[in-house]
Every structure is written in C-alpha cells, then in structure tokens.
Structure 1
C-alpha cells in the first residue's frame, strides 16, 4: 500500500511537486531509483513482477500508482505495476491511455493510477473501483491532492495531514520507516523543464539516498 501527496499547477516555481511513500514487504526484491529500459524510464522497479509504482520518462511523461484495499483479491489478476510501464512506453496522451484501459477493468486488482504529461501539463486520474462502476476517469484539477488506498482525495486513515505543503513534508518525514515503508520519493518539476527525482530507500536493512536530475526532451 502506498500514499502520495502532490501539488499540481498551483505553485509559481514548481508546476508539479510529489511526495510518495511505498509500503511493501521489506524482503520483496526491488531495484531502487535508476534509469532502465535502455535509459528511457526513470524510477524504482519491482523485480518480482517487473513493474513500478512511480516512474517518469525523458519526454515528460510521469505516472504513479496505489492499490485499492480489498478484502478479497484475485490471484490470477495481472500485476498493477505493469500499468505505469505501459503508459511510459506508449505514445498516448493521458486521456488516450485511459481510454485504452476501458475494456480491461476486470484484469487487474483495484488500483488508483495517475498519468501525466508534463509537457502539455495534462493529468488524468484512473481507477477501476468500485467494480460495478467500470473504469472511472477524471482530469486532475489544480491544487493539493492526496491519494492513498481509496479514491483520490478521499478521507482515509493514513491521510491525517494538513493540506499545507509544510504539513505534508512534516507528515512524510515523521512517517518514514513505519508501517512497512520501503521507500520515500520526491519528484519536483521546475518551470525550466528540469525534473528532480529523489528517493530514500531501504536496502539490506539500511536506508540509502539517491537523486537524479534531467531536462525534459520535448
């Protein structure tokens, strides 16, 4: 289970800022932040299923994912971590990609997916829950948003934060290392087109840090 807090198109210097905690079993094989897929995708990678929970690309695409908490799960369901990789490898806009998923709602467990194009500054929220509602797609409005294991901006036990950026920073700082946290990431987009991606991750029972910066190739 993960939680993400982000500011979208509401800061004069940083059009997008994201903080994301990944909660996962500490013994699940994971590659920390780095370029992969021939240097086209930047993010951590789940080596068990091959997908990711947060990643971006050189051409300005960004995507992150949280699970929807459910009592019953389908053991035959596809890995939700495949969805971010599919989006980053596609040539589709956020809206076009969301439409592509419309016939696949039953193939995955419950998910919340944010897909963004930082060049066109478009962002779409996608979820396949509740089951009887099919795929839900919505443009993300400017402002501060929180995404956990229910729908976007839904009050949730883990989302006991002030909707003030300093409050969010304090919350994530205090929470790190608890509740199975495997990594904490921050992604910042500057008006110049520079993307800064930071990750503090757990590796062999030690916390390590890594940062990568690059300019979007338009």
Structure 2
C-alpha cells in the first residue's frame, strides 16, 4: 500500500474513514478482499506470496474490540532484504491478535524492512514505524496522510488525497464510495514537496500521481474503510489490471461495539 488518507474521530457521523491504494508488481499473486477461512474475523485481501495483507479490518471477537490496520513501505533505505519477516505478517498479527507480532508494544519492529503502519484498536489510533528507529505513538482525532515517507510528509500526492478527503467531509460526507474518484486521480498534483529519496521500486517514477497506471508496477487496488459512530462499517476493495482497467469489486460489512 503506497498511499492513504484517514479521518479518525474527525466527523460527527463517521468514526473512521480510511482510504488507500496498493501499488505493487502486477505479477505478484494476490487474493481479493474476503473473509479469511482460516481467520474468520479477518476481512482483507491476501498477498499469496508471503501470506499476509496490506490493509484490513477485523470484527469484534468476544471481549476484544474491532481492529483496522494499513501498512506502507518506507523509501530511502534501499531495496528490501529478502531474509526479513514480511510486513504483511505484522498487519495480519495485529488484526487477529495472534502470532509473534500481535502486541504492538512488544513486537520486534526491527525484524521488518522499513515500514509505516497505522493501527486502530476500536477506541484508539496508533502509528508505528521502524526507521530511523522504532516509534510507537498514539494518534489524536484528526486527518492524516501517509505514503512512503514520514507520517504527514507533504508529498504532492499525499496532500492531494488528504485535501480530497477533507473536501468530502466538508461537503456532507454522504457516500464513502464517492472517494474512489479521489483514489483514481492520475494527474500530477501542483503543490507539496518532492520526495528527497528515490523509490525502492525501480519501475515507480520519482514523483507519481495517486493512481499509478503502469503495466509492470502500478495500482493494484483501491480500498475504502468506512465506519460510523455506532460502529457499523464496510470495507470495499476495487481492483485493477496492468492497464489500469477495473476488474472487480467486493464489499463486506462489519461491526464494532460503539
């Protein structure tokens, strides 16, 4: 997942709006959004190469509240090392509450290639990163943007997606699926600061739009997570082929205790 914007506890109707694009090699095998058979509380797409996910939600299970998480790679540290744990495993463990990395306070963040991660545990939102040193911090209610740099780094496409989300909130915040239009933007934004480090993906341009249309490495899917103040939510995934054409869409409802 290479770009996201989030409104956390920033609107009277919506407790959480989380939108993002996953940019990846089109050849990497992936399963679409579904309720996982081996983890029935987990709603997410699945990376069939490493077994984890890049974004997802989990239902409330017994005494545990619902959870959501999204991860992005962090550029500027060179090509990823293949002997490190998959960053998708960290997302999956946090969502299910199982595995070696299920506790964000004790998880060995240094086991992974560079990443940024936002994790919501029902009542609170958190930000985790492991470069240049491990950081674990709470996020206050507000609007956030994240790509492959620091949290809220003013990259052109990050500013553009945050602005689109803010405009949607101010305009009435009616149908979250309208935000797919913002995730499909292919024009280059005017404002912002250009990233000072090259992408670790050799097929990605130094400055890219929100939606990347590229036959080798591009936007594989767009995801919208929307949950209202009563805890009723939906996760929707829209998928694209190497030509940037839409190939499918799935949507699954969930509920967290209010």
> TM-score per shorter chain, which class?
0.7 to 0.9
Matched, 1:144 2:146: no
Q: CA RMSD in A?
A: 2.4
Matched, 1:35 2:31: no
Provide the residue aligned with 2:206 in structure 1: none
Structure 2 portions without partners, runs of 5+: 61-65, 169-178, 187-210
How far 1:177 sits from its partner (Å)?
A: 5.4
Per-residue Cα deviation, 1:125-178 (whole angstroms, up to 9, x for no partner)? 000011xxx311111121110011012111225324153526574531324452
* Residues in 2 aligned to 1:181 and 1:49: alpha-carbon distance in whole angstroms: 19
Provide the residue aligned with 1:48 in structure 2: 49
* Residues in 1 aligned to 2:50 and 2:20: alpha-carbon distance in whole angstroms: 20
Provide the residue aligned with 1:211 in structure 2: 251
Contact 1:144 1:163 in 2 (8 A): no
TM-score (norm 1): 0.86
Contact 1:110 1:129 in 2 (8 A): yes
* Residues in 2 aligned to 1:7 and 1:173: alpha-carbon distance in whole angstroms: 19
1:122 aligned residue (121, 124, 134): 124
**Structure with more of its chain in strand, by fraction:** 1
Change (3 A) 1:167 1:23: farther
Contact 2:39 2:96 in 1 (8 A): no
How far 1:217 sits from its partner (Å)?
A: 5.9
Change (3 A) 1:173 1:166: farther
* Residues in 2 aligned to 1:49 and 1:158: alpha-carbon distance in whole angstroms: 28
How many residue pairs match? The answer is 208
* Residues in 2 aligned to 1:91 and 1:79: alpha-carbon distance in whole angstroms: 15
Provide the residue aligned with 2:87 in structure 1: 80
Per-residue Cα deviation, 1:83-104 (whole angstroms, up to 9, x for no partner)? 0111122179xxx922112xx2
Provide the residue aligned with 2:18 in structure 1: 18
2:113 aligned residue (84, 99, 109): 109
Give the secondary-structure state (helix, strand or coil) at the position aligned to 1:158.
helix
- Runs (4 or more) in structure 1 with deviation over 6 Å come to none
Contact 1:58 1:217 in 2 (8 A): no
* Residues in 2 aligned to 1:124 and 1:206: alpha-carbon distance in whole angstroms: 32
TM-score (norm 2): 0.73
